[in-house]
Amino acid sequence: MFDSTKLEHKLTKEAFKEIQAQLRNELLDAQRELRERGTHSIMILINGADGAGKGEVLNRLYEWLDPRYLETISVDIRNNDDNDRPNQWHYWRDMPPKGTISAVLGSWYHVMLRDRALGKLDRDGFMQSVLSARAFETMLGHEGVKVLKLWLHIDFEEAERRHKEERKSDHFRRPLVEEWADVPAAHSRKKLHEAAREVAQFISPDSVPWNVVPAADARYRDVAIGQALLALIRSTFIVEESAPAPAPEPDSAAGYHLPRPSIISTIDLTKTIDEDTYKRKLKEEQERIFDLTESAAFSKRALVCVFEGNDAAGKGGCIRRIRQALDPRDFRVHAVAAPSEEERARPYLWRFWRNIPPKDHVAIFDRSWYGRVLVERVEGFASPADWMRAYGEINAFERELTNDGYIIAKFWLAITPEEQLNRFNERADTPYKQFKITEEDWRNRDKWDQYDEAVTDMVDRTSTALAPWTLVPAVDKRYARVHVLKTVADRIEKAL
């Protein structure tokens, strides 16, 4: 892949003009069809040594494409404001909606390549980072975001020559995108080229391939990139048209269904706590949470609380008691409803990634990304293939957070069908509580067993050592609140 770039790749001015005229029209036609279909978006990762022409390539894309539907995502890892969240957050924040194209400078490969070049990352750590990036790209592909990975290749010696020439120039010559200033020494820059070769050669049948583009000749480079982009856009049309119909659900033998164990049935829903003990423990645990989140050690961490549970199980009451223990400047509560049009135009995790808090802050999710494997599964909003795949995608998402120092506390609040009915009736009869009850809540009662099965699978497949589920008996609201507060305090204390 890299060896072939050593051969001479040149394009004459006349040949370039002839190819450009046709290529530009084909790109505009493909971009228009991409927008009209609205089923995919494109992310172009522009990687390469400083001096390889990344800025020139970006300008060429804006010249050849309709700029109204082309955006630049520029991530400066050296910017401290961008370093208080996980690396992937930068790209999720600016994820292109379906029908559009984004060009990325400072891609998710930047940090691993830099650290490998500087000797901060051994081979095992480097390969783990590559695998994480590959999983991210696979998830994006399933969600309709196609990735074009470019490495603009020039010889190490040529890169050094261009870099020095540009630095000593007294006048503007060309836009130089300088991304590797923190890899200053010639030895380290050579290591950078070696690391790029490692990444490009580390492939598997299901991985997004690298396009290593000879960049010594600008005309050849630009045409090669234009052709690669055109092929990728057109491939989305082929996949869409040839997508197979979903496989039918298999019939069980003789109509017999094997009994499924319920994890909810293992929860002792009779647990209670008296009023005096409740008040004392509530105060104790709230003070613990306040002290822990105000500590110096927490300034390098962040807390993400996830609340799921049966309708009317008391999630809001638990959330209010956590709020009372926190500095109001340092937390946000995100009440999750059905996705908007803007959210449906992007991968389902987008609306959660963009609300991940910075370090030294807290985010509380009232409903969460687990809707993919709960309501979307039960109501048929997600196909079996989509929600089955989501378990692994959610685990990868939470692993990105915990690897970056985030503390995750996940709660399922459980009540009985009888207790739920009592609470529904109370809400319906109490004017200031009527907003809490909807027709959908009543309909969901008819699918109690289906939700029970979905919860069992969810806990079984996504309760991990670093992000375990806590199953909370919530028939007694006082017991549930104290249990939740103590678990949050314990999780923070253990992490610090």
Q: What is the pLDDT of residues 268-322, one digit of tens each?
A: 999 999 999 999 999 999 999 999 999 999 999 999 999 999 999 999 999 999 9
Asked if 99 and 41 touch (Cβ cutoff 8 Å), the reply is yes
User: What pLDDT is attached to residue 474?
Assistant: 98
Per-residue pLDDT tens digits for 361-370: 999 999 999 9
Of 127, 160, 148, 123, give the one whose Cα is nearest residue 49: 160
Per-residue pLDDT tens digits for 401-434: 999 999 999 999 999 999 999 999 999 988 888 8
Residues 6+ apart with CB under 8 A from 456: 260, 261, 262, 263, 264
Q: How far apart are CA 214 and CA 7, in angstroms?
A: 9
User: What pLDDT is attached to residue 9?
Assistant: 79
Tokens linked to 469: 């589920």
Residue at a domain's end among 180, 206, 241: 241
Please indicate, yes or no, whether residues 311 and 180 belong to a single structural domain of this protein.
no
Mean pLDDT, range 139-165, rounded to an integer: 85
User: What pLDDT is attached to residue 155?
Assistant: 79
Q: How far apart are CA 306 and CA 318, in angstroms?
A: 11
Q: How far apart are CA 126 and CA 132, in angstroms?
A: 10
HSE-CB of 257 using CA atoms within 13 angstroms: 4
Does residue 257 lie within any of the structural domains? no
Share above pLDDT 90 across residues of the chain, in percent, rounded to a whole number: 71
User: What pLDDT is attached to residue 375?
Assistant: 96
Mean pLDDT, range 229-250, rounded to an integer: 71
User: What pLDDT is attached to residue 5?
Assistant: 54
Please indicate, yes or no, whether residues 157 and 283 belong to a single structural domain of this protein.
no
CATH code: domain of residue 65 = 3.40.50.300
Please indicate, yes or no, whether residues 227 and 308 belong to a single structural domain of this protein.
no
How does DSSP classify residue 270?
T
Please indicate, yes or no, whether residues 311 and 214 belong to a single structural domain of this protein.
no
Reported confidence tier of residue 337, pLDDT bands at 50, 70, 90: very high
User: What pLDDT is attached to residue 325?
Assistant: 98
Please indicate, yes or no, whether residues 225 and 271 belong to a single structural domain of this protein.
no
Per-residue pLDDT tens digits for 421-474: 999 999 998 888 888 888 888 888 999 999 999 999 999 999 999 999 999 999
User: What pLDDT is attached to residue 239?
Assistant: 66
User: What pLDDT is attached to residue 188?
Assistant: 72
Mean pLDDT, range 55-65, rounded to an integer: 96
User: What pLDDT is attached to residue 447?
Assistant: 94
Residue 244 clears pLDDT 80, i.e. is over it: no
Identify the residue with better confidence: 169 or 13. Answer: 13
Asked if 369 and 397 touch (Cβ cutoff 8 Å), the reply is yes
Bridge-based pairing state of the strands 41-48 and 469-473: unpaired
Rg value, the chain, Cα: 27
Count of structural domains within the chain: 2
Does residue 448 lie within any of the structural domains? yes
Of 175, 225, 148, 177, give the one whose Cα is nearest residue 49: 177
Please indicate, yes or no, whether residues 359 and 444 belong to a single structural domain of this protein.
yes
Please indicate, yes or no, whether residues 62 and 123 belong to a single structural domain of this protein.
yes
Tokens linked to 411: 């709660």
- Mean pLDDT (the chain) is 90
Per-residue pLDDT tens digits for 379-394: 999 999 999 999 999 9
Residue at a domain's end among 241, 273, 305: 241
Does residue 255 lie within any of the structural domains? no
Mean pLDDT, range 231-240, rounded to an integer: 87
Geometric angle at alpha carbon 366, from 361 and 367, rounded to 5°: 120
User: What pLDDT is attached to residue 369?
Assistant: 98
Residue 251 clears pLDDT 50, i.e. is over it: no
User: What pLDDT is attached to residue 172?
Assistant: 53
Q: Is 298 exposed, middle or buried (0-12, 13-18, 19+ CB in 10 A)?
A: buried
Distances (CA, A) of 25 to 58, 61, 62, 233, 492: 18, 13, 14, 14, 57
Does residue 350 lie within any of the structural domains? yes
Identify the residue with better confidence: 398 or 5. Answer: 398
Residue 81 clears pLDDT 80, i.e. is over it: no
Reported confidence tier of residue 258, pLDDT bands at 50, 70, 90: low
User: In which domain, by residue range, is 374 found?
Assistant: 264-495
Please indicate, yes or no, whether residues 270 and 148 belong to a single structural domain of this protein.
no
User: What pLDDT is attached to residue 435?
Assistant: 87
Q: How far apart are CA 407 and CA 293, in angstroms?
A: 11
Residue 248 clears pLDDT 50, i.e. is over it: no
Per-residue pLDDT tens digits for 167-210: 666 555 555 677 777 777 676 777 888 888 888 877 666 678 89
Residues 6+ apart with CB under 8 A from 131: none
Mean pLDDT, range 88-111, rounded to an integer: 95
Please indicate, yes or no, whether residues 237 and 330 belong to a single structural domain of this protein.
no
Does residue 230 lie within any of the structural domains? yes
Does residue 149 lie within any of the structural domains? yes
Does residue 57 lie within any of the structural domains? yes
Q: Is 2 exposed, middle or buried (0-12, 13-18, 19+ CB in 10 A)?
A: middle
User: What pLDDT is attached to residue 252?
Assistant: 46
Please indicate, yes or no, whether residues 199 and 127 belong to a single structural domain of this protein.
yes
Distances (CA, A) of 1 to 114, 209, 213, 414: 21, 11, 9, 55
Please indicate, yes or no, whether residues 115 and 177 belong to a single structural domain of this protein.
yes
Residue at a domain's end among 210, 241, 272: 241
Reported confidence tier of residue 1, pLDDT bands at 50, 70, 90: low
Does residue 304 lie within any of the structural domains? yes
Please indicate, yes or no, whether residues 430 and 325 belong to a single structural domain of this protein.
yes
